[in-house]
Amino acid sequence: MRSLDEKYEKAQGQIYLSGLQALVRVPMDQRRRDARLGRRTAAFISGYEGSPLAGYDLELMRWKSTLDELGIVFQPGVNEELAATAVQGSQIASTMPTRTVDGVAGYWYGKAPGLDRAADALRHNNISGTSPRGGAVAIVGDDVIAKSSTVPSASESAIAELGIPVLVPVDPQDVLDLGIHAIELSRFTGLWVGLKIATNVADGSASAVVDPDRLDVVLPDNTFGGRPYVHRPDANLGPPTLAAHERSMTGDRLELARRYARANGLNRIYDAPDARVGIVAAGSTYLDLRQALDSLGLTHGEAEAKGIRILRLGMVWPLDDEIMTAFAEGLEEIVVVEEKRGFVEAGIKGLLYGRPDAPAVVGKQDTDGAELFRADADLGADLIARGLRRRLRARGVVPEARPKDPGPAPSARRSLPLITRTPYFCSGCPHNRSTVVPDGSLVGGGIGCHAMVGLLPSEHTGEVLGLTQMGGEGTNWIGISPFVTTGHLFQNLGDGTFHHSGSLAIRAAVAARINITYKLLYNSAVAMTGGQAAVGGMSVAQVARELLAEGVRRVVVTTDDPKAYRRGALPRGVDLRHRDDLVTVQEELAATPGVTVLIHDQECAAELRRKRKRGKAPDPAYRAFINKRVCEGCGDCGVKSNCLSVQPVETEFGRKTQIHQPSCNKDFSCLDGDCPSFVTVTPGKGRKRRRVAPAIDDAALARPRFVVDPDRFSVRVTGIGGTGVVTMAQIVASAAARSGLWVRALDQTGMSQKGGAVVSDIKVTRTAQELASKVGDGECDLYLGCDVLVASSQEHLVTASPERTVAVVSTAEVPTGAMVSDTAVRFPGQTDTVDRIRERVRSDAGRFVDARGATLALFGDDQYANVFLVGVAYQLGALPLPADDIEAAIALNGVAVDANTQAFRRGRQLIADPRAYEAALSPSAGDGAEAAVDPAAGIDGLVEHRAAELTAYQNAAYARPYTDLVGRVRAAEDGVVQGSTVLAEAVARHLFKLMAYKDEYEVARLSVRPEFLAELEEEFGPGVAYRFRLHPPVLRALGWKKKISLGPWFRPVFRLLYALRGLRGTPLDVFGYGKVRRTERRLVAEYRELIEGLLTRLTPGNLAAVAEIAALPDLVRGYEHVKLGTVERYRDELAERLAALDGAGPVSPAGAASASGADRSSTVTDRG
């Protein structure tokens, strides 16, 4: 693969492209073919985006100049129904005297729900028919496991019910071939032709061969009763035309489809002498079948030798009776392998029923009625292999090998479910705020990114009622509301859905006079399918005007930027409010009878980020930053913002929070609340002090010895959606294609592209082979884990084998959405992640390394972590491709080419020259980072460090009771269990935590520490400007709702305040009279009394339980009301633990290892 252009423009030779890209090329190739044959034609494309065809329209737009050159008109549809009617117009155009071309090839596209919506239009279209010089194709995307759909689908039966022949491509090569046949078939028959595109075909990529002479289209006999049949489209469907069209559609035209399929070999028999068993499959399932047979030891030649005949169907409807008769000849049994319902199976049974010596036909059920191939979910090669083994054994066709052994099952201890990485809103996503509702609200989910409210805690997004089909949002409430006491529903509705069909739902709600508030989430992009603008999209003002005209009682617009609206920009009667008033506005609308609409106007964060990078949108000059010493790690900023860039981080002083700057989209919702740890920062104009490692030359790195088979190997890549995992997999696949190898790949994303678990599989062979794109159980050669949490999932580890698989995994702990706001949710330990992977992969090869930490140290940015891992895998010999081709693929990708190339080389260097790699690493922490206590110093070092902090906090006298109590605890513990310090460490950490409560004096001290300024300069460069964001209690008491912003000029005030710390706790302490401060002082006294009491009954048997109790103050976090809430939780937990200690005996010692509150052991194997 030499350029991105060749997938569409290369006329002859081998190319590499995805199924979706093949669909883009199909109309181009058709036009080129027509031109070569002297046909005066054009093409017209219309439809509506949706997975697995998401991005089809965007790719067409990217190649608009090529489309224009070829006479291809692309017009996205408002919805699928209207688009289908528009495509039929292209067929009628050829019948008009003013036509400019002799025929137009029409292409409609939509996912399965779109097919359902457009069914009536397509029914009209098909009976009207297509032009003999035009032709029309319905490209239908099927999401069989509902990866990015509300329900799973299999559309062949729905397409067939419309009388439309159904072609089912296997892979991108088949898309190119059957795409040409689809138009030629449509022209020949006068029928629309369906092209069913399964997710694995659309999202899969493969090498393909292109050649102008590749297809020799044969037009068979078209005569009936001696007269040729040539269809002429006619939209006048009244009598007698309608009857004639229906008769031809169900008779002659379908027969012509069978003749065409027969003449052009769309259905192919792989015969075997003396065959007794036949197997039928179509589409991507055919490749799964081949892989299943291969795992049973039945390759192409082996299967034939065993008497197995295979029928690969390219056209599943109408079935060709002649080829089915030939296929069934002499067979004892036919096994039909297909996903979902037994559509082909029923057709075969119908054709063969009543015939003498007809073979038995099984598919969904075995001969005894038991399930053979399930009708739900998908199949995959491994499930197919199980079913085939049963039937082949029953017929005496015994495979020579059993299915491949994926290795020993994980131990019961380690097979427990881990925290799952579920999809989540992007950093700064408008839905983080717009989906918040008043407490106790009932909410209707909708189609789009905001559908993820169903995955979030109900206290944030309300009780979610569920989903309807696209365009039905809120209309279920028409049928619910008369029969429940609940008086109101909030209904989420995306602006893309509103323009597609949702406006009709609002009209229906108005007509039904129900009490409902539509939350129209106006984000200016259909983000789930690529960020397109809604076709026919209206401005907020236009939408509001239309809603009022429809009879909506009240419309309110909320936005993050009210200043963007000029005075009078909105219609009279439409209120404009800041998004901070969102909950209040919803309460007002809920109290308004009838239909009300809240339009939340805030641009999609992902699209806004892209615009900022391209200079098409202003980029805020300042950033949010957290002073981790002031931070309490309470998670309130995560609750306020619901943002994935607000990440927990473990420090010497326990869990804190940091802003992940590379992913931050500068929404600044995290600044809300009372926490004084936030500062806003304007980076300095000077160069950052964090250095970038010098460039290294490829020649300095030795070529590795390959440890996997270079002629056939497979790769599974796992990671987090939206972090470049799919891009990295495409780089690897493109490199393999560039080196002349044959490649099959599959990206499994769906909704998971939004921060969930994503998977990409790659298979590379020296020669062209029929292989499933998905890596099977125990089949993986390189297990490339870009996220240790996803990589340690049993769902993905089944592909690994201890004898075969080399693992290269990043151990960086990237928090999940749940960890952002819930301090109780912690990242699993090494035993549950790294060790789980180790036991399933080769012990003689592989590497576990913190790739994010490494690239942050090397390049000042962790976005290069994935390519760094590729370099590690390559140098280990687990990725047998030329390094030059990998670097060329990086260049072809065109993003940060130099940095990504260096990341690849640094990954190689880690393996090839560890010393040079270590020398290149810059310190992993900035100059201002808090130095951790040396573990070698033990309890003495810990106490000395904390005592010094308390002395700085107040004075030496304040620190003395601390050291005294820890000393007594240490002596008592040693007397019970000699050498043990687990309890002493717990007390040392948590007595300090309570004594060093962060009042105004301490916040002042921590805000002026030289280390903090050094950390800012390390992160943002010399000359950094910063402002403290504070919400003082006195202002809060006066009703001030927002934080105030104070610049460096306030540092002297902080110093003065710190100097007054001697007033702390005295009658002159004006800050000490508040409820929070009184509570903080009581906690210290209570804890001392608690520990003294526990020492009197300390035994070897309850030591672990007592240590856990001593660590409970870790629950106490936050400021103001947040802290009071955690204190209540702490006291409740303390009461339960003490009751267990006094009554039922010691509590379970599980977790005693972490009772001290110390950082968990690092999962990092290599530095970085």
pLDDT given for residue 937 in this prediction: 83
1123 vs 1128: CA distance, rounded Å: 9
- End residue of a domain, out of 246, 261, 276: 261
Neighbours of 913 (CB within 10 A): 17
Q: What is the CATH number of the domain that holds 150?
A: 3.40.50.970
Q: What is the pLDDT of residues 249-294, one digit of tens each?
A: 999 999 999 999 999 999 999 998 889 999 999 999 999 999 999 9
pLDDT given for residue 1150 in this prediction: 32
DSSP result, 134-166: S-EEEEEEE-TT-SSSSS----HHHHHHTT--E
Q: What is the CATH number of the domain that holds 916?
A: 3.40.920.10
Is a pLDDT exceeding 50 seen at residue 948? yes
Check whether residue 243 and residue 315 sit in a common domain: no
Provide the β-strand partners of residue 625.
679
pLDDT given for residue 1036 in this prediction: 72
1152 vs 1107: CA distance, rounded Å: 7
Is a pLDDT exceeding 90 seen at residue 245? yes
pLDDT given for residue 1035 in this prediction: 72
Please name which of 174, 116, 171 lies closest in space to residue 149, comparing C-alpha atoms: 116
Task: Classify residue 489: in a domain, yes or no.
Answer: yes
Task: Classify residue 583: in a domain, yes or no.
Answer: yes
* Phi-psi sector, 598: left (phi>0), alpha (psi -120 to 50), beta: beta
Q: What is the mean pLDDT of residues 911-939?
A: 75
Check whether residue 373 and residue 485 sit in a common domain: no
State residue 812 phi and psi, 5-degree precision.
Answer: -55, 135
956 near 1081, Cβ under 8 Å? no
Check whether residue 283 and residue 253 sit in a common domain: no
834 vs 1163: CA distance, rounded Å: 7
718 near 681, Cβ under 8 Å? no
Sort strands 166-167 and 678-682 into parallel, antiparallel or unpaired: unpaired
Q: What is the pLDDT of residues 171-190, one digit of tens each?
A: 999 999 999 999 999 999 99
Q: What is the CATH number of the domain that holds 376?
A: 3.40.50.920
Is a pLDDT exceeding 60 seen at residue 410? no
Q: Is residue 1148 very low, low, confident or very high in pLDDT (cuts 50, 70, 90)?
A: very low
Collect all residues with Cβ–Cβ distance below 8 Å to 651 and sequence separation of at least 6: 628, 930, 932, 1159
Q: What is the pLDDT of residues 298-351, one digit of tens each?
A: 988 888 888 999 999 999 999 999 999 999 999 999 999 999 999 999 999 999
Query: What element of type H or E holds 227?
Result: strand 227-228
Check whether residue 452 and residue 470 sit in a common domain: yes
Task: Classify residue 71: in a domain, yes or no.
Answer: yes
pLDDT given for residue 418 in this prediction: 64
Sign of the CA dihedral with 1068 first, then 629, 967, and 937 last:
negative
Task: Classify residue 965: in a domain, yes or no.
Answer: no
Check whether residue 243 and residue 275 sit in a common domain: no
Is a pLDDT exceeding 90 seen at residue 2? no
- End residue of a domain, out of 234, 261, 288: 261
Is a pLDDT exceeding 50 seen at residue 1145? no
Task: Classify residue 509: in a domain, yes or no.
Answer: yes
Question: How many domains would you assign to the chain?
Answer: 4
Q: Is residue 1161 very low, low, confident or very high in pLDDT (cuts 50, 70, 90)?
A: very low
Residue bearing the bigger pLDDT, 640 or 801: 801
853 vs 185: CA distance, rounded Å: 56
Check whether residue 366 and residue 446 sit in a common domain: no
Q: What is the mean pLDDT of residues 81-91?
A: 97
Collect all residues with Cβ–Cβ distance below 8 Å to 242 and sequence separation of at least 6: 127
Collect all residues with Cβ–Cβ distance below 8 Å to 837 and sequence separation of at least 6: 783, 785, 788, 791, 792, 797, 800, 807, 809, 848
Provide the terminal-to-terminal Cα distance of the chain, rounded to the nearest Å: 34
Query: What element of type H or E holds 646?
Result: strand 646-651
Instruction: Pinpoint the alpha helices (H) of 1021-1163.
Output: 1033-1037, 1051-1059, 1075-1095, 1103-1110, 1120-1142
863 vs 173: CA distance, rounded Å: 34
Q: What is the mean pLDDT of residues 619-634?
A: 94
Burial bucket for residue 588 (CB in 10 Å: 0-12, 13-18, 19+): middle
CA distances in angstroms from 236 to 89, 126, 450, 501, listed in the order given: 13, 13, 43, 28
Check whether residue 154 and residue 298 sit in a common domain: no
Q: Name the average pLDDT for the chain.
A: 91
pLDDT given for residue 1146 in this prediction: 41
Check whether residue 162 and residue 24 sit in a common domain: yes
Helix axes 865-875, 883-893, angle to 10 degrees: 170
> What number of H helices and E strands is found in the chain?
45, 35
pLDDT given for residue 1156 in this prediction: 33
Q: What is the mean pLDDT of residues 182-209?
A: 96
Task: Classify residue 951: in a domain, yes or no.
Answer: no
Q: What is the mean pLDDT of residues 540-554?
A: 96
Q: What is the pLDDT of residues 1049-1080, one digit of tens each?
A: 999 999 999 999 999 999 999 999 999 999 99
3-state secondary structure 886-900: HHHHHHHHCCCHHHH
Range(s) of the domain holding residue 778: 698-920
Q: What is the mean pLDDT of residues 509-532?
A: 86
5 SS3 class: coil
Sort strands 646-651 and 654-659 into parallel, antiparallel or unpaired: antiparallel
Q: What is the mean pLDDT of residues 1001-1030?
A: 92
Q: What is the pLDDT of residues 100-145, one digit of tens each?
A: 999 999 999 999 999 999 999 999 999 999 999 999 999 999 999 8
DSSP result, 19-51: HHHHHHHHHHHHHHHHHHTT--EEEEEEE---T
Tokens standing for 487? 């008086």
969 near 982, Cβ under 8 Å? no
pLDDT given for residue 930 in this prediction: 58
- End residue of a domain, out of 229, 245, 261: 261
Is a pLDDT exceeding 50 seen at residue 1048? yes
Please name which of 905, 908, 903, 837 lies closest in space to residue 877, comparing C-alpha atoms: 908
961 vs 953: CA distance, rounded Å: 14
Check whether residue 166 and residue 283 sit in a common domain: no
Please name which of 519, 585, 579 lies closest in space to residue 547, comparing C-alpha atoms: 519
Check whether residue 115 and residue 165 sit in a common domain: yes
Is a pLDDT exceeding 80 seen at residue 923? no
Q: How long is the chain?
A: 1168
Provide the β-strand partners of residue 520.
493, 599
Q: Is residue 995 very low, low, confident or very high in pLDDT (cuts 50, 70, 90)?
A: very high
pLDDT given for residue 398 in this prediction: 64
pLDDT given for residue 753 in this prediction: 63
C-alpha 194: how far from its chain's center?
Answer: 29
Residue bearing the bigger pLDDT, 1038 or 1019: 1019
Tokens standing for 512? 């039904």
Sign of the CA dihedral with 197 first, then 199, 202, and 205 last:
negative
Task: Classify residue 180: in a domain, yes or no.
Answer: yes
Q: Is residue 819 very low, low, confident or very high in pLDDT (cuts 50, 70, 90)?
A: confident
Check whether residue 255 and residue 387 sit in a common domain: no
Query: What element of type H or E holds 204?
Result: strand 204-210
State pTM to two decimals.
Answer: 0.90
Q: Is residue 793 very low, low, confident or very high in pLDDT (cuts 50, 70, 90)?
A: very high
Check whether residue 159 and residue 70 sit in a common domain: yes
Please name which of 344, 449, 378 lies closest in space to residue 143, comparing C-alpha atoms: 378
981 near 973, Cβ under 8 Å? yes
Task: Classify residue 47: in a domain, yes or no.
Answer: yes
Is a pLDDT exceeding 80 seen at residue 686? no
